[in-house]
Amino acid sequence: MSPESFALVGARVLPADADPIDDGVVVVADGRICAVGGPDTPIPSGAERIDAAGKWIVPGLIDAHVHLGVYEEGEGWAGQDGNEMTDPVCAHVRAIDAINPAEIGFADAIASGVLAVNVNPGSGNPIGGQTAAIKCVGRTVDEMTMKAPSGMKSALGENPKRVWGEQKKTPSTRLGTAAVIRGAFVDAQNYRAKMESDSDTPVDRNLKSEALSKVLSREIPWRQHCHRADDIATAMRLAGEFGYRLVLDHGTEAHLLADIIAEAGIPVIIGPLMVSRSKVEVRNRSVANPGRLDAAGVTIAITTDHPVVPIAHLIHQAALAIKEGLDRDAALRALTINPATIMGVAERIGSLTPGKDADLCVWNGDPFDVYSRVEVAYVDGREVYRLP
């Protein structure tokens, strides 16, 4: 258990939203970051002084697209709760209702510096359900949750085609998938119109349309699973028709449309990167793609899509992207402030900024060096991990 007030001193500090600080100081009190600066930063009386000389202090890493806790590792069918594949439109289902906080992947995440994630339903349906932004520590998911819903999962491309085509049901094609999504949004528009009318006639609640109304009102973003460039173009077309906030998830071929995506101001959560070219959609997968998107002005976050790539390799994916041309500072933002912003929780996490939650890690070296390890991790200023 960490003291209520402490100061980490002498480290190289990477705030993520500001320049690195050598011989830096990070002051924490009551679960919040109080001050970040150089060696002259005042340390409150009574705060424990912790020597971090030779260490690196980094915000808790964030993966904005995982299935952690809903696709449990080593649990077989009993732990597979990410896809409600009984209806192509499952806007009413919520990831928060299926997350198991005891799933072993959360411990892996913390030990590798990943302190927050966005848990998504799977990609078997055109509309898969509501996502949740959570911290990786807690006894119940309610205790872990920062924002739910934090988005609405949707899928284009091969997955919904396969799932529903095998059942001889709509959608079995890309055009059918787009039609299902359009139909659901039209239903939601009609539902909103009825709810907002002056009629005295009661309107029966519709949980699907209620959830989609949050997308139409831009309260939450539309989290669009898409790999191929043509699916990305469809995602942008649909967003233009209905006016919602679009986030491109995976974006394997997003670099082919990078200038268009950048001009539209659409963020891309790119990955997983350390996978084989297991299907047609990912044949253009490359660890060079994050750098290409960043160079074009696209806001990026990097994802493992855990358990597709184990979450412990989030930082390693970024390191490989740096090796292939991604700017180092951009790589850090892609693991911190950018995913926090996409998830709608940047006011709490994502950078070492006074006033934010004290979610941070002390590394024994450069976090982008494969030999470096997390020595201590803090969530809300409380020590949650220490290297054995």
- Pairing outcome for strands 56-59 and 5-13: parallel
Instruction: Locate CATH 3.20.20.140 in the chain.
Output: 61-349
pLDDT at 3: 56
Q: Write the pLDDT tens digit of every residue in 78-107.
A: 889 999 999 999 999 999 999 999 999 999
Separation between Cα atoms, residue 349 and residue 59, nearest integer Å: 8
pTM of the complete model = 0.97
Q: Write the pLDDT tens digit of every residue in 8-46.
A: 999 999 999 999 999 999 999 999 999 999 999 999 999
Looking at 105-109, 165-169, 198-202, 278-282, which range is the least confident one? 198-202
Q: Write the pLDDT tens digit of every residue in 105-155.
A: 999 999 999 999 999 999 999 999 999 999 999 999 999 999 999 999 999
Residue 198 has pLDDT above 90, yes or no: no
Q: How far is CA 320 from CA 92, 134, 150, 291, 314, in A?
A: 38, 26, 29, 10, 10
Q: Write the pLDDT tens digit of every residue in 317-362.
A: 999 999 999 999 999 999 999 999 999 999 999 999 999 999 999 9
CATH of domain 1-59+351-388: 2.30.40.10
22 φ, ψ (degrees, to nearest 5): -85, 145
Residue 69 has pLDDT above 70, yes or no: yes
Range 210-229 average pLDDT: 98
CB 271 within 8 A of CB 303: yes
pLDDT at 1: 40
CATH of domain 61-349: 3.20.20.140
% of residues, the chain, pLDDT over 70: 99
Mean pLDDT of the chain: 96
- Pairing outcome for strands 382-386 and 222-226: unpaired
pLDDT at 216: 98
Residue 207 has pLDDT above 50, yes or no: yes
Separation between Cα atoms, residue 226 and residue 319, nearest integer Å: 24
Q: Write the pLDDT tens digit of every residue in 268-280.
A: 999 999 999 988 8
Instruction: Locate CATH 2.30.40.10 in the chain.
Output: 1-59+351-388
